[in-house]
Amino acid sequence: MTACQPNVAYHETRSVSSEGWDYRDGILFEAEISDTLTLHELYLDVRNTIDYPYSNLFLFMEIEFPDNRTLHDTIECVLADQRGEWTGKGIGQMRSNRFLFRDEVWFPVEGTYTFRIQHGMRDEKLEGLSDLGIRIERK
């Protein structure tokens, strides 16, 4: 998947259950990083239906480094503007957005980085999301 795009170090997408995303269930991504010299950009890909009940999405991200250090962050993804119009691309029932999460990221240790994402919304089971992805690009 990344061979066709030389600047892409990692890109993976996971489906969210059609029955809803339970706040206790983390979505895991494991990126093998060997380049410890180049700066990177981290993106989140979010795909939602027009039935998603909110204009934004809060996510809790935990990044575990190969040396077992962890980093925690909270991310807000704006999925609709102030008029209630969906952002992103798409037609029909689906919309896709790519959000820059971090710019100029340096991976200090070679190895597997684990990204665990949970939703931070008030719903126990969040409905209206179909896919969540992580994309890491070399600058």
Topology annotation, domain 8-138: Jelly Rolls (2.60.120)
DSSP string, 21-39: EETTPPEEEEEEE--SSSE
Whole-model pTM: value is 0.91
CA 136 to chain centre: 10
Q: What is the identity of the amino acid at 14?
A: R
- pLDDT over 80 (residue 1): no
Instruction: Return the sign of the alpha-carbon dihedral for residues 79, 82, 86, 89.
Output: negative
Give the residue-averaged pLDDT of 96-119.
97
Q: pLDDT per residue over 47-80, tens digit each?
A: 999 999 999 999 999 999 999 999 999 999 999 9
Tell me, what's the pLDDT at 2? 46
Give the residue-averaged pLDDT of 88-105.
95
